[in-house]
């Protein structure tokens, strides 16, 4: 036991003192925050007011669309989003002249950002047009579509004799709040954080397990190729070496996760504003995170250690590690399904399979906590798998670290397990 802790301490200190550990510890939370918040902020941030011309057959409809666009500008937290002019000249000559102004770089002052074509023919066919220099400005397109629809609906209601003062109440929008229900009680309304929180937490666990599992494999491979093992084996058993590596590298991962957990709680605080609307963490989530990280790490670090002991070069390791990583990749494939249907049969069985359980059961807990017996069964199956893998991989490790020059075949690996 003393040798195990000595090797674990060596592995821990070697990695914690590196600049790469400090860099990833600080950079990773910022990177994940940036991936979730920056695109949203950039999409919502206006580069300046949109210069738009509204073409309609009737002045009343044009004024209605203009007023709706200006209402959006006045309610925006940013600068004015639209500058709007109206016209009833729907001739082909007028249309061609306006289209040229969208791409005219010579007269910047007269340049248009968009043309709304909502003539009577277009409205009756249900296909009003919006001409712009790009078709990927989805926020502006959504605002224009809402403005046109509201103006057309207002005009139609008034044509059927509805008083103008009643139109506003008839068209008043009702926003939908989604309240998750657990144990017969409704919880706080969930927004975008219902998707982003489990996604971020699972991705953190996935990446951490992968990084530190591969770190174990590379450490074994480096010491094997440099023949350091032959010296170490004079004072310790192969089991001590493997256990020390797994524990030492795992302790580094646990330390990093602890730092990330604190950062996550800070980022989800109300004072952060935009971050708290996209991410919402609870202390209990990090308790489960630690539990399932340990289970997943022990499963995959044992497999990676065995791979490192079997191979003789980095190229051989890359070929074999793909098979070890395959269940982790499948977890990412199933992620969206688990988040959208955490209680379905696919979610249940995927969270019970030991090689995907640490990630997918954790996602289920974050989204909608399953019954306690399912969590207990998943943990029990994972523990049984860890015991079996430590026994099998330990035997492979014991023989493989002293094998050089030849890549073992499957029959040979089976012999190692039997006779180690």
Q: Is residue 160 part of a domain?
A: yes
Contact 219, 245 (CB under 8 A): yes
Span 234-293, pLDDT tens digits: 666 777 777 777 888 888 877 877 787 777 666 655 544 444 455 666 778 778 888 888
Mean pLDDT (whole number) for 68-90:
76
Same domain, 205 and 118: no
Strand pairing partners for 129?
Answer: 117
Mean pLDDT (whole number) for 165-183:
70
Give me the domain span that covers residue 356. Answer: 2-40+190-419
Q: Is residue 256 part of a domain?
A: yes
Same domain, 290 and 403: yes
CA distances from 399 to 41, 220, 236, 309, 315 (A): 55, 13, 15, 8, 20
Same domain, 405 and 352: yes
Same domain, 226 and 340: yes
pLDDT, position 352: 92
| Closest of 212, 177, 180, 171 to residue 198, by C-alpha | 180
Span 192-241, pLDDT tens digits: 566 677 777 788 788 888 888 888 888 777 777 766 666 666 666 777 77
Q: How far apart are CA 45 and CA 274, in angstroms?
A: 13
- pTM above threshold 0.85: no
The number of beta carbons lying within 10 Å of the beta carbon of residue 329 is 11
Q: How far apart are CA 35 and CA 33, in angstroms?
A: 5
Q: How far apart are CA 317 and CA 300, in angstroms?
A: 14
Q: How far apart are CA 350 and CA 378, in angstroms?
A: 10
Q: Is residue 182 part of a domain?
A: no
Q: What is the DSSP string of 243-271?
A: HHHHHHHHHHHHHHHHHHHHHHHHHTSGG
Q: Is residue 179 part of a domain?
A: no
Q: What backbone phi and psi angles, to 5 degrees, belong to 235?
A: -125, -10
8-15 CB contacts, 8 Å cutoff, 24+ apart: 8/243, 8/244, 8/245, 8/247, 8/248, 8/251, 9/248, 10/244, 10/248, 11/219, 11/244, 11/245, 11/247, 11/248, 11/249, 11/252, 12/248, 12/249, 12/251, 12/252, 15/215, 15/248, 15/249, 15/252
Give the E-state strand segments of 119-239 in sequence order.
129-132, 181-182, 185-186
Q: Is residue 176 part of a domain?
A: no
CA distances from 31 to 40, 55, 200, 255, 265 (A): 14, 45, 11, 19, 16
Strand order in the sheet with 114-118: 82-87, 50-56, 114-118, 129-132
Contact 213, 303 (CB under 8 A): yes
Last residue of a domain, one of 170, 198, 220: 170
Lowest-confidence pick of 11-25, 285-299, 368-382: 11-25
Report CA 209 to chain centroid distance, whole Å: 16
pLDDT, position 274: 47
**Interior/surface letters 266-288, b for 16+ CB within 10 angstroms, e for the rest:** ebbeeeeeebebbbbbeeebbeb
Same domain, 14 and 148: no
Strands 82-87 and 129-132: unpaired
Evaluate if residue 386 carries a pLDDT over 70.
yes
Q: What backbone phi and psi angles, to 5 degrees, belong to 81?
A: -90, -25
Same domain, 129 and 13: no
pLDDT, position 279: 60
Same domain, 338 and 257: yes
Last residue of a domain, one of 138, 170, 202: 170
Same domain, 272 and 399: yes
Question: How many structural domains are present in the chain?
Answer: 2
Q: Is residue 184 part of a domain?
A: no
Last residue of a domain, one of 116, 141, 170: 170
| Closest of 296, 325, 324, 306 to residue 408, by C-alpha | 306
Span 120-134, pLDDT tens digits: 888 888 888 899 887
Same domain, 194 and 333: yes
Provide the percentage of residues in the chain whose pLDDT is more than 90: 5
Contact 150, 171 (CB under 8 A): yes
The number of beta carbons lying within 10 Å of the beta carbon of residue 34 is 12
Evaluate if residue 408 carries a pLDDT over 80.
no
Q: Is residue 183 part of a domain?
A: no
- Which of 92-96, 174-178, 319-323, 367-371 is predicted most confidently? 92-96
């Amino acid at each position: 036991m003393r040798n195990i802790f000595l090797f674990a301490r060596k592995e821990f200190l070697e990695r914690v003192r590196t600049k790469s550990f400090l860099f990833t510890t600080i950079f990773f939370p910022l990177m994940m925050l940036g991936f979730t918040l920056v695109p949203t902020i950039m999409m919502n941030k206006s580069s300046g007011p949109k210069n738009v011309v509204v073409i309609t057959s009737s002045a009343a409809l044009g004024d209605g669309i203009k007023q709706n666009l200006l209402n959006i500008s006045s309610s925006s937290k940013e600068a004015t989003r639209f500058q709007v002019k109206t016209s009833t000249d729907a001739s082909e000559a007028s249309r061609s002249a306006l289209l040229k102004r969208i791409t005219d770089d010579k007269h910047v002052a007269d340049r248009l950002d968009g043309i709304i074509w909502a003539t009577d023919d277009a409205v009756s066919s249900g296909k009003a047009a919006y001409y712009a220099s790009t078709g990927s400005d989805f926020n502006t397109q959504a605002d224009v579509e809402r403005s046109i629809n509201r103006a057309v609906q207002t005009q139609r209601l008034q044509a059927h004799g509805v008083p103008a003062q009643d139109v506003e109440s008839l068209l008043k929008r009702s926003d939908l709040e989604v309240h998750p229900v657990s144990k017969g009680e409704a919880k706080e309304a969930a927004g975008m954080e219902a998707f982003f929180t489990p996604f971020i937490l699972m991705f953190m666990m996935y990446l951490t397990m992968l990084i530190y599992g591969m770190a174990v494999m590379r450490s074994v491979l480096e010491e094997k190729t440099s023949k350091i093992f032959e010296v170490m084996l004079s004072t310790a058993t192969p089991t001590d070496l493997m256990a020390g590596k797994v524990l030492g590298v795992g302790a580094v991962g646990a330390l990093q996760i602890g730092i990330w957990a604190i950062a996550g709680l800070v980022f989800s605080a109300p004072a952060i504003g935009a971050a708290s609307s996209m991410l919402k963490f609870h202390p209990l989530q990090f308790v489960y995170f630690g539990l399932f990280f340990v289970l997943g790490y022990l499963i995959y670090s044992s497999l990676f250690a065995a791979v490192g002991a079997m191979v003789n070069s980095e190229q051989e390791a890359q070929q074999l590690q793909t098979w070890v990583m395959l269940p982790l990749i499948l977890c990412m494939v199933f992620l969206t399904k688990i988040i959208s249907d955490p209680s379905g049969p696919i979610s249940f069985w995927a969270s019970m399979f030991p090689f995907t359980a640490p990630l997918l059961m954790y996602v289920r807990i974050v989204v909608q906590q399953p019954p306690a017996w399912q969590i207990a069964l998943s943990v029990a199956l994972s523990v049984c798998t860890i015991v079996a893998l430590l026994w099998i991989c330990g035997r492979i490790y014991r023989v493989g670290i002293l094998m050089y020059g030849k890549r073992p075949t499957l029959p040979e690996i089976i012999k190692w397990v039997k006779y180690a």
